[in-house]
Amino acid sequence: MKDIKIGVEIDLVCKVLYVVELSTNEWMLFVWDGTDAPPVTFTQELDAEGESPLPLHFEIMPYNMTIPPVGSILRVVVGKHFKEVVQLQSGSQWIKLCNMTFITECGFWKGLLQNICKIRFLGEADANVKLNIREYENRVTSRVRQPLACSHQPSNITELDFEDYDDVPYFSLRESLLCSERSQRFKSIVRVLAAHPWRTHELQLDQDCCQISLTLEDPTARIRAYVKDAEKFFGHCQNAEIISSKLKKLLGTRDNDEAGPSDSTRDPPWVWCCIKSYFVNGINADPWIDERYWIDCTIMRG
């Protein structure tokens, strides 16, 4: 999955985790191979985040399923004429999707199976399946859930500031969503896709309660987290120009760019972030709907 590109046909060896019926003509497969789909670049339309925020998900899997903690899950649209899908509805089947193409939708990858495509069933003894399992096991045993696209250290735009650093676990965003604990605190490597508000004159930093909504993403999930203490987040800086420069770096836009509607693109850097989560409903809460996040003990550097 790490090699997929828009408009390029590839054969993908993957595991079917879940199947859902979209319509009388189409299925949706949720597939996984243990690797990460490439991060998607975004247009500059940051001003639209207030009225039309980026979606956190489209079709979703049941939260009570056993889902791997790392590796992207790709949605694949399949026509009903692919009779093989009937045998995939129980999940956990390794397959090879031949001649598949890809598009992006609001920053999410989606696979498309055209009439010329083939679905081939594979067993766990298949060499490619063995390779995928081995590479996944190497990743999941690592304490740091580092995205494959972040091959080196994350950007130093942010730093984590708390005394019990070693006691706070590393989580992927999916791990957080699927964690059974009602409240948790974790470290994660993420990209900041959007901020609202993001213009300095709208932040009202001199107010007692200045909240900024950040849309965070890693290869496993996308969440919306709130900066509760903006003064601490910006390193106790009150200079509007410096704060604006910090936000633009975080959002992956050029420092001299107004970042309004534009044809140009931005590629947010990978950064460290400490996040606290809690549920707004009781024991039967759905994490896709009822979980809330705060940015905690994370400071932007100048």
Q: Is 252 left (phi over 0), alpha (psi -120 to 50) or beta?
A: left
Spatial distance between the Cα atoms of 269 and 271, rounded to a whole number of angstroms: 6
Are 93 and 30 contacting, i.e. CB atoms less than 8 angstroms apart?
A: no
Q: Which residue from 184, 138, 154 is spatially nearest to 296, judged by alpha carbons?
A: 184
| CB-CB neighbours of 278 under 10 Å | 14
Mean pLDDT by 10 residues, the chain (302 residues): 93 96 91 95 75 81 83 94 89 94 93 92 96 94 89 88 81 86 87 87 63 92 90 85 89 67 75 87 61 89 76
pTM (2 decimals)?
A: 0.89
Q: Using only C-alpha atoms, what is the Rg of the chain?
A: 20
Spatial distance between the Cα atoms of 82 and 111, rounded to a whole number of angstroms: 15
Spatial distance between the Cα atoms of 160 and 293, rounded to a whole number of angstroms: 16
Farthest-apart Cα atoms in the chain, separation:
62
CA atoms in the 13 A half-sphere facing the CB of 32: 22
What pLDDT score does 103 carry?
Answer: 95
DSSP category for residue 182: S
List domains and CATH numbers for the chain: 10-37+72-140 (2.40.50.140), 158-300 (2.40.50.140)
| CB-CB neighbours of 129 under 10 Å | 19
* Token couple for 40: 């998607």
Are 125 and 103 contacting, i.e. CB atoms less than 8 angstroms apart?
A: no
Residues, the chain, total? 302
DSSP category for residue 39: P
